[in-house]
Chains A and B, each alone.
Chain A
């Protein structure tokens, strides 16, 4: 029964992730693609060595390729978030299935994307040095892992402090811990700024805003859709838990 619930939530999480990916894809296509094209036009105008045969045409990259990437990303994070939800449910605070889903999505957006983004923002084509791809990749994933671990640590810390400080102050303390730890990571990890001097600042800004919009769409839609799906999957458990709290003996009655 418990294992079946986990499987149920996992499947629903991946479906919600797919739905979220579809909407994020719309945002990426309409807000993002024109900026990618503009950046590639800049790249080609300044190219020294480029001009070989394209393995994948721009049309395919901006449609089928973009769809593959964004949808797989949505499904993958939907699944991971659903598993995190299974752990968090009933353990983090007294939140119902829908509130839990939305809170988890908000935490996912901040920990998985916004925190790493503020240090290593999304870059359009033509603004990074291919020579540093190894370091940039390592540091980006390190920042994501660190941010997620710190967020989990902050939640556990908040839970531990709650009995002594009360929920409000414990949440503030946990938040302060997270901000401080992230600030330290920002201060000590190296930064990269490889944007060419004459690359349009407006284009860079718009590209990064579009990238942020894609993620905000993805996680918001995921939180809302998964909340509804999870609530349905959990309905018997919620009822049973409510019954048990109200009438401890009634929980023994099968239904």
Chain B
């Protein structure tokens, strides 16, 4: 017979989750709104690029990834009302104008011979930063109060890792001359500078405030 009246602790001994987190409800919602905006701009341009890319393998991979990022934006769209934002469009915004400039630059290449430039922007600049921003949020938010965001972050991160690997492998296959190495490098530097100026997907503090060493005399 199982003893049903014996009290048990609410947390198992191995469940080490804690209440405190870095983000209040408003801050979590603000970040989620920024994520949604960036994922939307990303899936739109991936879809738009499909017709401009002559490499069949790249075309088909982008078709798949278009949906992944659309789905992330849907996850964030659904999360916003749960974070007290009843009008999700209000927070579906970029963090600042500099980030808009950065995303415009990512979306700018059109010509069929610019596949490397298109892929470098997404897979060597933007997606690694999604991975960083999502990981920071995942590691910093309250594991108990913000669990629904964590669940979505984990789903999104899994896609981001997989998509980053797909894109990076395509790039490695396409970059087959020293000149193309330079082209890819130039494009990456150009975009990283713009990203730096924006502060990140969620603006300044995307990865937290800079940590200053405190000297003890």
- Same assembly: no
> Which residues of B does A touch, CB under 8 Å?
none
